[in-house]
């Protein structure tokens, strides 16, 4: 006999507000006298003649009135559920192992139902209750494994940061050991919590290995923490933040130590300043003194002193370390000498530039220095009725080695010619000077 309204649906309608409307009065009164409604009842009883036209929508409307309870929507009564004898509020079935709590958002009625009766309240409620059940089971499993292995949850959530919080960079073999083991423990833990096939014994076995690796790491740190050239945490964080994974791998392959091959690739401020201080001990032996460092431009200023002549010049940090940093690691650097280093630099400072320009002017056989416009990186030389506009930077850097060595050199005139920007006639020269005067007035 086909039932139009089952016993469970009868309870649903009674506990919901939607069925209490006057338009459903006949249905409501009939259900008070009967536990269900069959197709035969619809055909026999006149007051039920229109039930088939609306009952499906009415049931859906009543289902939508119910939502899961915010106060513990799911509860596992545990292995003693039979003794507790909890029954379903909708169908009376007992004993329940799992309690599903729902509440009517229209009238505040609350029900404790079983898994089967939950289906009477629509797919959304069923899905949410299933989700709540799974989350409750996960919570119980997390509690079980935490009781067996205290600290396991914190380890899984934060173990990826363990390496970056160490005081030094680990060598490759230790880093890989840690990463592999933490991944295994995390995977086993998550599989257990997610109700997949995994036993706490599996997690405990791998957890023991984690502690052995931690001891190995602690011993390595204790042994190498204060050794020269060990790469510290500041360097690690700089490499990570600047996405220098390749350089980090190189350091790990070198046992966690810096080398000539990696030092010039790292621009961590404290490291650069410490490196330059250490390099200065070697530079002083050559007659070169580390003067200052601009961390923003990574420009190193050096003072060169030879035969009672001095000039100041700058060189990019990475160039200096790439070419000459090997001396810090006791490696043989064949070109580590005064003039090779000088040749990598660019003369700076008005005093040094003026010294070299005077030297060039005094030793030129062909050219006479007539005008200086150092703020514009220009000077003018006169020769054979022509005026030569010269780029100062090119000229002084071409002649810096000659100047400081006091060597006689017949190529000075060639350097002047090489550095020219243009050649001017007397008329052009006069016009150019006037333009410079007017430009200077405008500036001030």
- 132-184 pLDDT per residue, tens: 677 767 877 888 899 999 999 999 999 999 999 999 999 999 999 999 999 99
Instruction: Map residue 348 onto helix, strand or coil.
Output: coil
| Whether residue 118 sits in one domain with residue 217 | no
Q: Which residues contact 59 (CB under 8 A, 6 or more apart)?
A: 9, 12, 13
Q: Is residue 255 part of a domain?
A: no
E-strand stretches of 307-433:
309-316, 346-347, 368-373, 378-383, 386-391, 420-424
What is d(CA 173, CA 414) in angstroms, rounded to the nearest whole number?
59
Give me 381's structure tokens.
């030389």
Is 204 a member of any domain?
A: yes
Look at residue 167 and give its three-state secondary structure.
coil
Is residue 246 in some structural domain? no
Please name which of 271, 232, 252, 259 lies closest in space to residue 330, comparing C-alpha atoms: 259
Same-domain pairing of 266 and 160: no
For residues 409 and 308, membership in a common domain is answered with no
Q: Which of 109, 136, 163 is the last residue of a domain?
A: 136
Let me know whether 214 and 91 are in one domain.
no
The pLDDT of residue 66 is: 82
Q: Is residue 311 part of a domain?
A: yes
* Segments forming the whole domain that contains residue 323: 260-347
Looking at residue 102, what is its pLDDT?
85
Closest by Cα among 45, 8, 3 to 27: 45
Choose the final residue of a domain: 306, 322, 347: 347
Per-residue pLDDT in tens (0 to 9) along the chain, 444 residues:
788 898 888 888 888 888 888 888 888 899 999 999 999 998 889 988 888 888 888 888 888 888 888 777 878 888 888 888 888 888 888 888 888 888 888 888 888 888 788 777 777 777 777 776 777 678 778 888 999 999 999 999 999 999 999 999 999 999 999 999 999 999 999 999 887 777 899 999 999 999 999 999 999 999 999 999 999 999 999 999 999 999 999 999 999 999 999 999 999 999 999 999 999 999 999 999 999 999 999 999 999 999 899 999 999 999 999 999 999 999 988 889 999 999 999 999 999 999 999 999 999 999 999 999 999 999 999 999 999 999 999 999 999 999 998 877 778 999 999 999 999 999 999 999 999 988 877 766
Residue at 394 is within a domain: yes
**Is residue 104 located within the same domain as residue 228?**
no
Give residue for tokens 């088939």.
52
The answer as to whether 438 is a domain residue is yes
Helix, strand, or coil (residue 101): strand
pLDDT of residue 126: 72
**DSSP secondary structure string, 249-316?**
HHHHHTTTB--HHHHTT---HHHHHHHHHHHHHHHHTTTEEEEEEETTTTEEEEEEEETTEEEEEEEE
Q: Give Cα 61 distance to the centre of its chain.
A: 49
In degrees rounded to 5, what are phi and psi of residue 398? -75, -30
* Residue 124: CB atoms within 10 Å: 13
Write down how long the chain is: 444
Going 343 to 345 to 348 to 352, the CA torsion angle's sign is: negative
Q: Which residue has the tokens 């160490």?
A: 166
Both 25 and 128 in a single domain?
yes
CA distance 152 to 188: 11
Confidence (pTM): 0.72
For residue 412, tell me if it sits in a domain: yes
50 with 82, same domain? Answer: yes
Same structural domain, 91 and 189: no
Residue 250: predicted pLDDT: 97
Same domain for 96 and 24: yes
Starting at the earlier edge strand, list the strands of the sheet with 346-347.
Answer: 288-294, 299-306, 309-316, 346-347
332 SS3 class:
coil
Please indicate, yes or no, whether residues 165 and 132 belong to a single structural domain of this protein: no
Residues 77, 78, 81, CA angle at the centre, nearest 5°? 65
Q: Which residues pair with 423 in a beta bridge?
A: 388
Q: State the first-to-last Cα distance of the chain, in angstroms, to the nearest integer.
A: 107
pLDDT at 444 (0 to 100): 61
Q: Which residues contact 427 (CB under 8 A, 6 or more apart)?
A: none
Boundary residue ending a domain (286, 317, 347): 347
* Count of the separate structural domains present in the chain: 4
- How far is Cα 209 from Cα 178, in angstroms, rounded to an integer? 10
Instruction: Looking at the structure, tell me whether residues 211 and 170 fall in a common domain.
Output: yes
Q: Are residues 324 and 435 in the same domain?
A: no
pLDDT value, residue 24: 87
In a domain? residue 424: yes
Cα–Cα distances (Å) from 328 to 37, 235, 293, 323, 409, in that order, read 95, 18, 18, 12, 35
């Amino acid at each position: 006999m086909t039932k139009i309204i089952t016993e469970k649906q009868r309870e649903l309608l009674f506990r919901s507000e939607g069925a209490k409307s006057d338009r459903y009065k006949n249905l409501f009164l009939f259900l008070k006298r009967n536990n269900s409604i069959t197709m035969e009842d619809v055909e026999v009883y006149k007051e039920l003649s229109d039930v088939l036209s609306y009952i499906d929508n009415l049931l859906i409307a009543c289902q939508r009135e119910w939502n899961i309870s915010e106060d513990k929507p799911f509860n596992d009564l545990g292995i003693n559920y039979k003794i507790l004898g909890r029954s379903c509020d909708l169908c009376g079935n007992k004993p329940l192992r799992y309690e599903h709590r729902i509440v009517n958002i229209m009238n505040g009625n609350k029900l404790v139902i079983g898994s089967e009766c939950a289906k009477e309240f629509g797919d959304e409620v069923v899905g949410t209750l299933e989700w709540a059940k799974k989350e409750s089971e996960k919570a119980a499993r997390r509690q079980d494994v935490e009781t067996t292995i205290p600290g396991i949850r914190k380890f899984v959530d934060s173990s990826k940061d363990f390496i970056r919080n160490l005081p030094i960079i680990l060598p490759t073999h230790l880093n890989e050991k840690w990463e592999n083991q933490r991944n295994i423990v995390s995977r086993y833990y998550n599989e257990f919590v997610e109700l997949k096939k995994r036993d706490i014994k599996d997690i405990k076995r791998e957890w023991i290995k984690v502690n052995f690796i931690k001891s190995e790491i602690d011993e390595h740190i204790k042994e190498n923490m204060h050794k020269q050239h060990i790469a510290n945490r500041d360097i690690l964080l700089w490499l990570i933040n600047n996405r220098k994974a390749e350089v980090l791998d190189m350091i790990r392959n070198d046992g966690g130590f810096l080398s000539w091959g990696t030092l010039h690739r790292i621009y961590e401020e404290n490291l650069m300043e410490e490196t330059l201080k250490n390099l200065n001990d070697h530079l002083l032996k050559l007659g070169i003194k580390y003067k200052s460092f601009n961390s923003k431009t990574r420009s190193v200023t050096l003072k060169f002193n030879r035969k009672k002549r001095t000039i100041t010049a700058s060189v990019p940090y990475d160039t200096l370390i790439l070419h000459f940093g090997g001396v810090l690691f006791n490696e043989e650097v064949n070109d580590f000498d005064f003039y090779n280093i000088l040749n990598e630099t660019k003369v700076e400072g008005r005093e040094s530039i003026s010294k070299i320009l005077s030297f060039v002017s005094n030793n030129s056989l062909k050219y006479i220095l007539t005008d200086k416009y150092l703020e514009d990186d220009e000077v003018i030389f006169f020769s054979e009725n022509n005026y030569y506009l010269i780029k100062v930077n090119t000229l002084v850097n071409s002649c810096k080695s000659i100047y400081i060595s006091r060597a006689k050199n017949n190529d000075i005139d060639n350097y002047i010619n090489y550095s020219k920007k243009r050649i001017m006639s007397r008329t052009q020269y006069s016009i150019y000077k006037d333009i410079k005067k007017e430009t200077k007035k405008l500036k001030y």
